[in-house]
Structure 1
Amino acid sequence: MTPGIPPTLESPHFIGIGGAGMSGIAKILAQRGAAVAGSDARESGAVAALRELGAVVHLGHAAGHLDPAASAVVVSSAIREDNPELAAARERGLPVVHRSDALAAVMDGLRPVAVAGTHGKTTTTAMLAVALRTLGRDPSYAVGGDIDVPGSNAHHGLGEVFVAEADESDRSFHTYAPEVAVVLNVELDHHANYASLEEVYASFETFAARIVPGGTLVVSADHPGARELTRRLAGSGVRTVTYGESPDADARVLGVTPKGLTSEVTVLLDGAEHTFGVSVPGRHYAHNAVAALAAGSAAGVPAAELAPALSSFTGVGRRLQTRGTAAGVRVVDTYAHHPTEMTADLQAVRAAADDGHDGGPGRILVVFQPHLYSRTRELGAEMGHALALADAAVVLGIYPAREDPIPGVTSDIIIDAARARGADVTPAPDPAAVPGLVAGMAKPGDLVLTMGAGDVTELGPRILSRLEG
């Protein structure tokens, strides 16, 4: 099956083309033969990968970057109206296409599996994509992180299935019409777009209502928010498959066995037991793998084939990704930025350190960068409580992303909450000083965890370099 290129997207210009979501759509269009162009603030692995596919990518934003032959401009919710390229497109009367609409367009004609939830979307999407690829089914996919090399977050395949990460942050997942929808969990986040948990539930209900007739909703049987969503959808006619450790789960997790920075999970599905490895530690990642198993099964892939194929997943960028070891200190990177994610990842690396597989127990040292002023304002205290699970933490300034500063909202909210729990926390307003600071703190056997959704990921290699020096 070879879907064509939507006419509007034959010569698309992507503003912020290097972003995780934008670069994936651009890659798929380029692989289909579209004349892709765009701009980004800086050079990156994703940008380099797009250039290799023939895309024209400008650094910086200027009206002159918009090619006269552009058929449309693609934007994400992070692009502001005063962006010069967006302003030029509007002056020329070009179609302005939101990222979610572009993704929906490239999925058209295929069998979409859309993975949603407050946490775990990227990993679960990647797990299913890799497993289907291992089975030779050549899926198309769009993931919010690199599966292996830079630019590996998306692929135009010749198979029928398209596996996509479905973003709830700006309600853009309402655009999709999946055959299989996955909801991993439901929590209040993205405070700039959701004023209450009730609004979040309503948004996920709308997403579930978009499932095509005869389709399936795969949803956690354990997470309180997901269970509440299932209750609200009762009587809606949506076929539901649940997964988790609850006795009533359709795909029931019978056990998760930690094995260092990996684990093994056993699940009962359709009367048969399946045991397979998971390349990242922690019960939450094992549950992600079971969600992928249930979703693939709902799409018609035999669980007996899919379960061992899931063992071929070796991780996704920034999800407890080992960056290296120097002077006996392992450096691991994680995208976790919500208190639930932070707690889960800290518990996972603690269990890995304590079970003896990695020579532990060693100390867990965290370098944390808060993401967004609005999230820090609402959840800063909970972030601090999560950091108290580490042996010591270094806290950077807030990474603003698309937001303007909010008066009175600083990393001190997190630091004070962590210290109130007895945590050893060091403020680090200057990121350049962090590698030396951490190298001075770390001892052989320790694990350093760089944590956050911003550019804190760049500190891992620098920390390793200082440890080696």
Structure 2
Amino acid sequence: MPDVVLPADELGRVHFVGIGGAGLSAIARIMAGRGLSVTGSDDQDTPFLPSLRELGVPVHLGYAAEHLGDLGPDDTVVVTTAAREDNPEVVEARRRGVRVLPRSAGLQSVMLGRRVLAVAGTHGKTTTTSLLTSALLACDVDPTYAVGGVLTATGRNADAGSGELFVAEADESDGAFLVYTPWAAIVTSVEADHLDVWGTEEAYRAGFVQFLDRIDPAGLLVCCTADAGAAELAAVAEARGLRVVRVGEADGDDVRASDLAFEGSTSSFTVHDGETGLGRVRLQIPGRHYVHDALAALALGLRLGLPFDRLRAGLEAFTGSGRRMEPKGEAADIRVVDSYAHHPVEIAGDLAAARSVAGDGRLVVAFQPHLVSRTRVFGAAMGEALGAADEVVVLDVYLAREDADPEVTGRLVADAVPLPADRVVFVPDVAAAVEALAARARPGDLVLTLGAGNVTEVGPRLLARLEERSDA
């Protein structure tokens, strides 16, 4: 990180290495929306790139030094955390003396001068950021937002709004959230993850305590007390004199949900702010964990002085964000849903929500572990959580930024699933997963694909396979 992060309009021309990722594409979109000169490269054509091209942003596929064009010392290169040091564009930028920034500094540069609302936590960041954005849009405050997934309402993961508010997903995976200076923050949960970066659970939790120091003393912290780690963090924040708003289902929570009801793909609950009953909210997404996410977004909106009815309208209009319990389609009377869950707690939450959606049908799950380091630590717990399904297909580990380890494969997860052996299968890749699911799923079933890697390709390919079977 540089000692001083410059405002975006002082960065010159900005080139993004890894522009197709959720984080960098959001920053690039905001900069382009503000009229800055933006270019980028990525090694694959991702779903985030079409909306950038619509803004006129030149995007190169593949990495090469010449993609930097005439970039010089007054310009900037923003680099994804997934890029290696020998990336030719990074090497060339350093050779020319071009300013090179990590993703976190790029996001901080577009935040400067705005009232930042940051959403952090081990689980639920993207959904909560999306819900908060949807609620604020319904209040006509036109926020800038940067989300780690596509917001269904807009079809984009970011926009440069004209209002003073900036809603940002604050990622802890690489410590990026320790760069930002939010006026207010939501912390959904604090549970060990990303130990390849943090090293120990103690260090990971200490990072969230350090995050408290980044919040404006005149601002506030919203914490979901259903999570023990977030509840502990709330107590630390309060002891430091920070204003804390607790949300959940407990009697002592400041903003509380009661009378929860789950029907199909919907969730409804009554909201209480202190002793005052505000009314009932009906979400178009299933699951208790999503109720808590919505409650956190609602609480922050209320503390901003925005009206409950408008906030509720935004929450009720929210139909999801990309890869968060996202319906992919139906074929042969088999429904397919895709979700990003890759941690045992997230898996358990999404399987519980999927049960409601499945109704009388069976729940068939395809899960792809993400990262060798995470699978080494949590593989057994992942398998245990998958035991809530009726049938399970486990793919091999999606490597992402790490090298393979023959001792750590998806079989670690499959072997830990507490189901009869004939209801669990380990397969090597996406193609094999599609065939395994096609063989196991039957009319009335719900197929749920889970993971942070390319398992998202399974759903569409399975639907095509089922269509072929129906037509035969």
- If the TM-score is normalised by the length of the shorter chain, which range does it land in? over 0.9
Instruction: For residue 394 of structure 1, report the CA deviation from its aligned partner.
Output: 0.8
Distance 1:197 1:110 in 2: 33
**Aligned mate of 1:46, from 28, 31, 48:** 48
- AA aligned to 1:152 is R
| C-alpha contact 1:139 1:158 (8 A) present in aligned 2 | yes
- AA aligned to 1:245 is E
Instruction: For residue 352 of structure 1, report the CA deviation from its aligned partner.
Output: 2.9
- 1:213-262 deviation per Cα after TM superposition (whole angstroms, max 9, x unaligned): 21000011221111121233342111100000111100111122102011
Residue 107 of structure 2 is aligned to residue 103 of structure 1: yes
Matched residue, 2:87 = 83
Instruction: For residue 341 of structure 1, report the CA deviation from its aligned partner.
Output: 0.3
- AA aligned to 1:454 is G
Matched residue, 1:202 = 206
| C-alpha contact 1:45 1:151 (8 A) present in aligned 2 | no
Residue 453 of structure 2 is aligned to residue 466 of structure 1: no
**Aligned mate of 2:335, from 305, 312, 330:** 330
Distance 1:280 1:218 in 2: 22
| C-alpha contact 1:8 1:72 (8 A) present in aligned 2 | no
Distance 2:11 2:425 in 1: 49
CA 206–166 in structure 1, closer or farther in 2 if over 3 Å, else same: same
Instruction: For residue 150 of structure 1, report the CA deviation from its aligned partner.
Output: 8.8
Give the structure-1-normalised TM-score. Answer: 0.95
- AA aligned to 2:303 is A
Residue 280 of structure 2 is aligned to residue 275 of structure 1: yes
Q: SS at the partner of 1:145? A: strand
Residue 402 of structure 2 is aligned to residue 400 of structure 1: no
Instruction: For residue 274 of structure 1, report the CA deviation from its aligned partner.
Output: 2.5
Matched residue, 1:313 = 318
| C-alpha contact 1:74 1:102 (8 A) present in aligned 2 | yes
Matched residue, 1:429 = 428
> Structure 2 matches for 1:212-227, cutoff 5 A?
212-227=216-231
Q: Name the stretch that deviates more: 293-302 or 59-68.
A: 293-302
- AA aligned to 1:117 is G
| C-alpha contact 2:278 2:308 (8 A) present in aligned 1 | no
| C-alpha contact 2:139 2:306 (8 A) present in aligned 1 | no
**Aligned mate of 2:194, from 190, 196, 204:** 190
Instruction: For residue 396 of structure 1, report the CA deviation from its aligned partner.
Output: 0.8
| C-alpha contact 1:387 1:423 (8 A) present in aligned 2 | no
| C-alpha contact 1:362 1:447 (8 A) present in aligned 2 | yes
Distance 1:258 1:138 in 2: 31
- 1:83-118 deviation per Cα after TM superposition (whole angstroms, max 9, x unaligned): 110011111111111111111111111111000000
Matched residue, 2:384 = 385
Instruction: For residue 305 of structure 1, report the CA deviation from its aligned partner.
Output: 2.8
Matched residue, 1:230 = 234
Instruction: For residue 5 of structure 1, report the CA deviation from its aligned partner.
Output: 6.1
Distance 2:8 2:228 in 1: 40
- 1:167-213 deviation per Cα after TM superposition (whole angstroms, max 9, x unaligned): 01111101111111110000000011122222122111111111112
Instruction: For residue 119 of structure 1, report the CA deviation from its aligned partner.
Output: 0.3
Q: SS at the partner of 2:168? A: strand
| C-alpha contact 1:255 1:267 (8 A) present in aligned 2 | no
Distance 1:282 1:409 in 2: 31
- AA aligned to 1:50 is L
Distance 1:191 1:248 in 2: 33
Matched residue, 2:256 = 252
Matched residue, 2:62 = 60
Q: SS at the partner of 1:146? A: strand
Matched residue, 1:343 = 348
- Count matched residues: 460
User: Kindly, what percent of the aligned residue pairs are identical?
Assistant: 50
- Structure 2, unaligned runs of 5 or more: 1-5
Q: Name the stretch that deviates more: 33-42 or 430-439.
A: 430-439
Matched residue, 1:165 = 169
Distance 2:38 2:319 in 1: 30
Instruction: For residue 432 of structure 1, report the CA deviation from its aligned partner.
Output: 1.5
Matched residue, 1:373 = 372
| C-alpha contact 1:180 1:298 (8 A) present in aligned 2 | no
Distance 2:8 2:391 in 1: 52
CA 144–414 in structure 1, closer or farther in 2 if over 3 Å, else same: same
- AA aligned to 1:379 is F
- AA aligned to 2:180 is Y
- AA aligned to 1:348 is A
Q: Name the stretch that deviates more: 65-74 or 54-63.
A: 65-74
Instruction: For residue 54 of structure 1, report the CA deviation from its aligned partner.
Output: 1.1
- AA aligned to 2:36 is A
| C-alpha contact 1:141 1:156 (8 A) present in aligned 2 | yes
| C-alpha contact 1:320 1:334 (8 A) present in aligned 2 | yes
- AA aligned to 1:178 is P
| C-alpha contact 2:135 2:310 (8 A) present in aligned 1 | no
Instruction: For residue 328 of structure 1, report the CA deviation from its aligned partner.
Output: 0.4
Q: SS at the partner of 1:55? A: coil
Q: Name the stretch that deviates more: 266-275 or 365-374.
A: 266-275
Q: SS at the partner of 1:438? A: helix
Matched residue, 1:356 = none
- AA aligned to 2:14 is P
Residue 313 of structure 2 is aligned to residue 300 of structure 1: no
Matched residue, 2:3 = none
Q: SS at the partner of 1:460? A: helix
Q: Name the stretch that deviates more: 327-336 or 291-300.
A: 291-300
| C-alpha contact 1:5 1:29 (8 A) present in aligned 2 | no
Q: Name the stretch that deviates more: 453-462 or 222-231.
A: 222-231
- AA aligned to 1:376 is T
Instruction: For residue 68 of structure 1, report the CA deviation from its aligned partner.
Output: 1.1
CA 49–403 in structure 1, closer or farther in 2 if over 3 Å, else same: same
| C-alpha contact 1:46 1:150 (8 A) present in aligned 2 | no
Q: SS at the partner of 1:467? A: helix
> Structure 2 matches for 1:7-22, cutoff 5 A?
7-22=9-24
Q: Name the stretch that deviates more: 413-422 or 258-267.
A: 413-422
Q: Name the stretch that deviates more: 157-166 or 68-77.
A: 68-77
What's the Cα RMSD here? 1.7
- AA aligned to 1:13 is H
Distance 2:251 2:319 in 1: 29
| C-alpha contact 2:27 2:107 (8 A) present in aligned 1 | yes
- 1:283-339 deviation per Cα after TM superposition (whole angstroms, max 9, x unaligned): 000110001001112223233431232111111011001000111000000000000
